[in-house]
Amino acid sequence: MRVLVTGGAGYIGSVASRMLAGEGHEVLVLDNLAKGHRRAVADLDLEVADLEDPSALSGVCSRFGPEACMHFAADSLVGESMADPLKYFRSNVAGSINLAAALVESGCRDMVFSSTAAVYGDAETVPITETHPKRPVNFYGLTKYMFEQALCALDRAGQLRCVCLRYFNAAGADTAADLGEDHHPETHLIPRVIAAALGSEPRAEVFGTDYPTTDGTCVRDYVHVLDLARAHVLACEHLQETGGSGIFNLGNGSGFSVRQVIETVRRVSGRNFEVVEGPRREGDPPALVASSDKIRDELGWRPEHPELESIVSSAWEWHSRHPNGYDS
Ligand code: UDP
């Protein structure tokens, strides 16, 4: 397959790009490098372009002629989306529409879209299935849901088939390819706790201890980045085999609390570090755990690294080797 990977220099996109290339597919990474890292795609073809530049997108699509597109490029910080919604409408909605238009114009018919569990908002039932009500509580989730709906319209019009993958919490690293998480600022739990274990942050922080969960801290479903990347490859193959559009959750189906994650980092790293308990972070639902039955049944996806211990171990290995991320 000839696959265009937007956001392919980012965390999940770089792992998926490497997996595709390793399996003999022709890959072109498109990234504006605002958050992505050139070093993460050093051995792949890279086109530096922005989704908000429709003529650049048309040029790339007509030159490369993709048979499928994996669309990872997005703004994804919940807090920022609440403070600057226009930025999120421009990048995640308008930018994605520009991309869809360029793909359709160039004759590409298949897209795998990175969506999010944030489309659901507060969980009414756990585990969450794909039919759970969609009531995003932040503008990041709203913009992802809006583009999902645009894709459903394009599918109905016979212009673009699409698999939307609603991720729960992406975590871990591809230690064989030496690819991992490197965000500025880093907001995610596992890398922040690891930074405390490495001594690059003074302490780890627990955001809220009064949630209605077993130990009072938030519960999340952590999925290994290699398992996420595998799901994208399966989804792409499914579309190319004209399997039809679909929307799927991607999670492990088991939840871990913030305290359990901190304990796992302590065990895996063998380091002790200070932990402070603080107030809740605005917009955090108490528990988000996926039902991934649909993607198991329809695409045959199974997580190969479901244990929190192996997810945290791979992240620990990557961050220990790269304490300053790709600049290390
Ligand atoms: N969290 C925390 N301390 C941190 C970072 C995150 O307690 O330093 C909590 C956060 O409130 C949430 C969970 O860890 O309940 C997972 O947060 P993350 O940002 O990794 O992912 P999210 O679920 O927000 O996408």
Q: What is the CATH number for 130? A: 3.40.50.720
Q: Are 236 and 274 part of one and the same domain?
A: no
Measured CA to CA, the distance from residue 248 to residue 231 in angstroms comes to 10
CATH of the domain at 199: 3.90.25.10
Measured CA to CA, the distance from residue 186 to residue 325 in angstroms comes to 11
Going from the Cα of 123 to the center of ligand 1, the distance in angstroms, rounded, reads 16
Q: Are 141 and 289 part of one and the same domain?
A: no
Q: Are 111 and 236 part of one and the same domain?
A: yes
Mutate which of 188, 221, 228, 257 to test ligand 1's pocket (most atoms within 8 Å of Cβ)? Answer: 188
Q: Are 216 and 68 part of one and the same domain?
A: no
CB atoms within 10 A of CB 114: 26
Contacts of 258 (CB under 8 A, 6+ apart): 189, 206, 207, 217, 218
Going from the Cα of 78 to the center of ligand 1, the distance in angstroms, rounded, reads 11
Mutate which of 80, 219, 220 to test ligand 1's pocket (most atoms within 8 Å of Cβ)? Answer: 220
Two structure tokens written together for 244 = 């039809």
pLDDT tens figures, 267-325: 999 999 999 999 998 778 889 999 999 999 999 999 999 999 999 999 999 999 999 89
Flag whether 228 is in a domain. yes
Mutate which of 77, 284, 289 to test ligand 1's pocket (most atoms within 8 Å of Cβ)? Answer: 284
Flag whether 184 is in a domain. no
Two structure tokens written together for 226 = 């290699």
Q: Are 260 and 244 part of one and the same domain?
A: no
Two structure tokens written together for 235 = 């989804």
Measured CA to CA, the distance from residue 133 to residue 128 in angstroms comes to 9
Flag whether 7 is in a domain. yes
Q: Are 227 and 209 part of one and the same domain?
A: no
In the prediction, which pLDDT does 122 show? Answer: 87
Q: Indicate whether residue 258 lines ligand 1 (CB < 6 A).
A: yes
In the prediction, which pLDDT does 283 show? Answer: 75
**What's the domain range around 110?**
2-170+222-250
Q: Indicate whether residue 284 lines ligand 1 (CB < 6 A).
A: yes
- Cα–chain center distance at 247: 15
* Protein residue whose Cα sits closest to atom 5 of ligand 1: 189
Q: Indicate whether residue 187 lines ligand 1 (CB < 6 A).
A: yes
205 has which bridge partners? 276
Q: Per residue of the chain (328 residues), what is the pLDDT tens digit?
A: 999 999 999 999 999 999 999 999 999 999 999 999 999 999 999 999 999 999 999 999 999 999 999 999 999 998 899 999 999 999 999 999 999 999 999 999 999 999 999 999 988 998 999 999 999 989 999 999 999 999 999 999 999 999 999 999 999 999 999 999 999 889 999 999 999 999 999 999 999 999 999 999 999 999 999 999 999 999 999 999 978 999 999 999 899 999 999 999 999 999 999 999 999 987 788 899 999 999 999 999 999 999 999 999 999 999 999 998 998 7
Q: Are 318 and 194 part of one and the same domain?
A: yes
Q: Are 243 and 263 part of one and the same domain?
A: no
Q: Are 156 and 284 part of one and the same domain?
A: no
Flag whether 179 is in a domain. no
Q: Indicate whether residue 118 lines ligand 1 (CB < 6 A).
A: no
**CA angle, 298 then 299 then 302, to 5°:** 110
* Final residue belonging to a domain, choices 200, 234, 250: 250
DSSP label at residue 38: G
Going from the Cα of 217 to the center of ligand 1, the distance in angstroms, rounded, reads 10
Going across the sheet that includes 219-220, the strands are 256-257, 219-220, 287-288
Flag whether 299 is in a domain. yes
Residue at 229: amino acid letter:
A
Domains contained in the chain, number: 2
In the prediction, which pLDDT does 216 show? Answer: 98
Q: Are 13 and 149 part of one and the same domain?
A: yes
Going from the Cα of 188 to the center of ligand 1, the distance in angstroms, rounded, reads 6
Catalytic residues: 140
Flag whether 178 is in a domain. no
Going from the Cα of 146 to the center of ligand 1, the distance in angstroms, rounded, reads 24
Closest ligand 1 atom number to CA of residue 288: 23
Flag whether 175 is in a domain. no
In the prediction, which pLDDT does 282 show? Answer: 79
* Final residue belonging to a domain, choices 250, 269, 298: 250
Going from the Cα of 93 to the center of ligand 1, the distance in angstroms, rounded, reads 25
Q: Indicate whether residue 281 lines ligand 1 (CB < 6 A).
A: yes
Flag whether 55 is in a domain. yes
54 in helix, strand or coil?
helix
Q: Are 227 and 315 part of one and the same domain?
A: no
DSSP state letters, 227-295? HHHHHHHHHHHHHHTT---EEEEE--S--EEHHHHHHHHHHHH-----EEEEPPPTT--SEE-B--HHH
Q: How far is CA 7 from CA 32, 77, 282, 313, in A?
A: 8, 15, 27, 25
Q: Are 201 and 147 part of one and the same domain?
A: no
